[in-house]
A and B are shown apart, each in its own frame.
Chain A
C-alpha cells in the first residue's frame, strides 16, 4: 500500500473535491458577507437619511434650533431649546432616582436574597423591562397624574423655597416634568439593575472573604471592597440608563404635558426631544418635518454618545476583573 496516489484519476478526484470545497466556502461566505454588507448599508442609510432630511434646517436655522425658545407651526421659527432642556432635566432626575433605588436593589439581590429566590427576582426585573413604554405612559397618565395633582403637588409646594424649584402654587399640573422624571426613572430602573447586578455579582469572592476575615462588617465589605471594584462597571450601567432615558418617547409624550417652554419649574408641563417629535410629527409638513428631523439628529448624537461611553466603561470593567 502506498500513501501517494499513483492513480492519476484518483488524484484528479481529490483535487476536484478540494476545489468544490473551496467553492462551497466562497458560496457560503458570499451569502454571509452579502447579509453583513446589507446590514451595513441599512445602518448607514439609517443615519444618513435622517441627517439628509434635516439638512435644510441645519443650513438655514441651525442656531435657532439649538438656542431658540419658541416653536410655531407650520412656518417657524422652530426653536429646540425647550426640548433639549426638558430632555436633560427629565433624564437626569430619572437617573438619580433609578441609580439610588437600583444600587440598593442590586446589592440586596446579590447579598441579601437567598440564592433560590434570585432567579425569580431576575425574572421580575426582566418583566419590568418588557412592559411596553406606552403602558407606563397610560399608567402615569391615568393613575399617577391625578395622585400627583391631588396629593403630591400641594405637599411639595408646602416646602420652603418651593416656588424656585416647582413654580407658583396653583399653576402646577398633574402632568409635569417631575411626573415624567418619575415614570422615566421607573422605566430605566430594570436597565440599570440588569447591569449593576451583574457587575456586583462578579466581584471576586476571595476579595470579599479576605475583607470579612479582617473583621469587616457586611456594609464595610460592600463600601470598601465591592463598590470600588465594581465602580467603572457601575458608571457604565449609569450611562446606559441615561442613554435609554434620553430616547424614551411615548411615555414622556403622555405624562410630561407636552408644552414647549424652556423652564426649570418641575411641576410645570414640559416636553422632551423624542416626545415632541411624536406629538407634532403627524400634523407637520415641509420645513417643520426638517426641523423635527434635526431634533432627531440631536437625539441620535446624545444617545449614541452616552451608549458609547457606557460600552467603553463596561468593557474596561471586564478587563479589570479578568486581571484580578
Chain B
C-alpha cells in the first residue's frame, strides 16, 4: 500500500513534466514554423526584388524609346545638333547598317569554324580536344573588352588594316566562337549512339554518318547556340568600341570604318544635347527588342528539340 502512495506522487509529477514538455515542444514547434514561414517569405521577396530591375528597365525603355521611333529614325544618318537647331539629331541608320554588317561578317567567320571545332571536341578523345575544351570554356567567360584589345593589336595595328568593320567583326567572331563550340559539342554528344551505329551498320562511312545523321539530329541544339552567340554579339559594345572607328555615314564594306547601335548608345548617352540623349533610348529599345526576339527564338528552338526527343 505504501508502495502505491509512493508511486502516485511521481505519476502526478510525471503529468506535470509531460505538460511542461508538451508546452515547450509546442513553443519550439511554433518557433520553428514561424522561422520557416519568415524565411520562405524572405525568399519570395528576393524573387520580387530580382524582378524589379527588369520591369523598371523595360518600362523606361518603352516610355522613352517608343516616341523616338519614326521613319526618319531608321532611314537618316545622324547629325550633331547645333545652337540654331538643337533638336536636329537625325536618325541612326548608320548604326543599324553597321550593326548588321558587323553581325553578318562575324557570323561568317565564327559559325562554320565554331561548328567544326565543336564536332571535333565531341568526336575526339585526344589530348588536344581536352585542352581546347578548357580553352573554349575559359574564352566563353572572358571579358569582351579583351577581344577588342586583341583585334586592335592584331588587325588594326599588326596587319595595318585600320579601324574597320573587319576588325570589329573579328573581335565579335572571337567572342561568338566559344559559345558556338560549347553548344555544338553538347548537341553532338547528345545524339544517341544507337543512331550512329545504325548508320555504320548500314555501311555508311564515318563522314557520311556525321554529315547525314549526327549533324541533322544535333541541328536544333547547334542553331540554339548559334542564335544565342549572335544575340550576344549584336549587343556588345566593348569589343567594337576600340576598333570599328565609328562615324556618321552609312557604311558597310569590310574595310570601311562603321558604327553600331551599342556604340552609338555608349557615345551619345552622355551627350550635352537633350535631343541626342533622348534618341539614345530609341536605339536602346530597337537593340533590346532585337536581342529579345533572338533569345526567345533560341528558347523556342530548344524546347522544340526537347519535345521531339520525348
Chain A positions within 8 Å of B, measured between CB atoms, are 21, 24-25, 27-28, 31-33, 35-40, 42-43, 45-46, 49-50, 52-53, 100-105, 107-109, 111-113, 121, 123-124, 126-128, 130-139, 141-143, 186, 189, 193, 217-220, 222-223, 240, 243-244, 246-250, 253-254, 274, 277-278, 281-282, 292-293, 296, 299-300, 303-304, 307-308, 311
**What's the Cα separation between A109 and B48 when bound, in Å?**
11
- Interface check B49, CB cutoff 8 A: yes
In the bound complex, CA of A296 to CA of B242 (Å): 13
Q: Is the CB of B265 within 8 A of A274?
A: no
Distance in Å: Cβ of A225 to nearest Cβ of chain B: 13
Given A132-B235, A132-B288: A254 touches B143 (CB 8 Å cut-off):
no
Interface of A is mostly: helix
Shortest CB–CB separation between residue B236 and chain A, in angstroms?
Answer: 7
Is A104 within 8 A of B117, CB to CB?
no
Contact (A108, B47) CB under 8 Å given A24-B205, A28-B206, A36-B132: yes
B40 pairs with A130, CB closer than 8 A: no
Q: B33 — nearest CB in chain A belongs to which residue?
A: A217
Please name 10 further chain A to chain B contacts, defined as beta carbons within 8 Å, in addition to the given A32-B120, A39-B135, sorted by A numbering: A33-B120, A109-B47, A112-B47, A127-B295, A131-B288, A133-B237, A138-B265, A142-B60, A247-B141, A248-B143
Contact: A130 with B265, CB < 8 Å? no
Residues of B within 8 A of A27 (CB): 207
B291 in the interface, Cβ–Cβ < 8 Å? Answer: yes
Give Cα A202–Cα B178 distance, bound, in whole angstroms.
Answer: 26
Residues 25-51 of B, flagged 1 when their CB comes within 8 A of A and 0 if not, give 000000011011001101111110111
**Given A142-B277, A247-B144, A303-B143, A45-B150 contact (CB < 8 Å):** yes
Cβ–Cβ contact A303 & B137, under 8 A: no
Does B124 make an interface contact (CB < 8 A)?
A: yes
B135 touching A40, Cβ below 8 Å:
yes
Cβ-defined contact, B291 with A130, below 8 A: yes
B residues in contact (CB < 8 Å) with A: 32-33, 35-36, 39-40, 42-47, 49-51, 53-54, 56-57, 60-61, 64, 113, 116-117, 119-121, 123-124, 128-129, 131-132, 135-139, 141-150, 152-154, 157-158, 174, 177, 181, 205-207, 210, 231-232, 234-238, 241-242, 262, 265-266, 269-270, 277, 280-281, 284, 287-288, 291-292, 294-296, 299
List B contacts of A308 (CB < 8 A).
Answer: 138
Contact of B143 with A105 in the complex, beta carbons under 8 Å? no
Tell me whether B142 and A304 are in contact (CB under 8 A).
yes
CB atoms of B128 and A36 under 8 A apart: yes
Cα of A115 to Cα of B242 in the assembled complex, Å: 45
**When the two chains form their complex, are residues A25 and B35 in contact, meaning their CB atoms are under 8 A apart?**
no
Shortest A135–chain B CB gap in Å is 5
Q: When the two chains form their complex, are residues A127 and B177 in contact, meaning their CB atoms are under 8 A apart? A: no
**Which residue from chain A places its CB closest to the CB of B143 in the assembled complex?**
A247
A127 adjacent to B32 (CB under 8 Å): no
A218-B132 in contact (CB<8A):
no
Contacts of A43 in B (CB 8 A): 132, 135, 139
Are A300 and B143 in touch, CB under 8 angstroms? yes
Q: Roughly how many angstroms separate A225 CA and B143 CA in the complex, as a whole number?
A: 36
Which residue from B44, B54, B146, B238 sits with its C-beta under 8 Å from A300? B146
> Which A-B residue pairs are the 3 nearest by beta carbons?
A104-B46, A247-B143, A132-B235
The answer to whether B241 and A278 touch across the interface, beta carbons within 8 angstroms, is: yes
B142 touching A131, Cβ below 8 Å: no
A107 CB, min distance to chain B CBs, angstroms = 5
What are the residues of chain B within 8 A of A217 when measuring CB–CB?
32-33, 35-36
Asked if residues B237 and A299 are in contact (CB atoms below 8 Å), the reply is no
**Which chain B residues lie closer than 8 Å to A126 at the CB level?**
295, 299
- Judge whether B57 and A131 touch: CB under 8 Å: yes
CB distance A247 to B142 under 8 Å?
yes
B117/A250 in contact, CB under 8 A? no
Instruction: Given A217-B32, A244-B141, check contact A130 B269 (CB 8 Å).
Output: no
**Residue pair A307, B56 in contact (C-beta under 8 Å):** no
Contact among A38, A111, A307 with B40 in the assembled complex (CB-CB below 8 Å): A111
How far, in whole Å, are A316 and B191 apart by their CA atoms in the complex?
A: 25
Query: Nearest B residue to A221 by beta-carbon distance?
Result: B36
**A residues less than 8 Å from B32 (CB atoms):** 217, 220
Q: Is the CB of A249 within 8 A of B145?
A: yes
Contacts of A35 in B (CB 8 A): 113, 116-117, 120
How far, in whole Å, are A105 and B295 apart by their CA atoms in the complex? 22
A104 to B158 Cα, complex, angstroms: 49
Q: Is the CB of B154 within 8 A of A104?
A: no
- When the two chains form their complex, are residues B43 and A277 in contact, meaning their CB atoms are under 8 A apart? no
Bound CA–CA A25/B123 (angstroms): 12
In this complex, what residue of B is CB-closest to A293?
Answer: B149
* Contact call B236/A36, Cβ cutoff below 8 A: no
In the complex, the answer to whether A274 meets B145 with C-beta atoms within 8 Å is yes
Knowing A104-B45, A126-B299, A219-B36 are in contact, say whether A293-B145 is a contact too (CB < 8 A). Answer: no
For A100, list chain B residues within 8 Å (CB): 46
- In the bound complex, what is the Cα–Cα distance between A137 and B270 (angstroms)? 11
Q: Is the CB of A254 within 8 A of B132?
A: no
Complex CA gap A173/B116 in Å reads 50
Q: Report B-chain residues with C-beta under 8 Å of the C-beta of A281.
A: 148, 152, 241-242
Q: Which chain A residues lie closer than 8 Å to B295 at the CB level?
A: 126-127, 130
Alpha-carbon distance A46/B56, docked complex (angstroms): 38
Identify which of B50, B54, B61 gathers the most chain A CB atoms within 10 Å of its CB: B50
> Considering the chains assembled together, what is the distance between the CA atoms of A102 and B33 in angstroms?
24
Question: Smallest CB–CB gap between B220 and chain A, Å?
Answer: 17
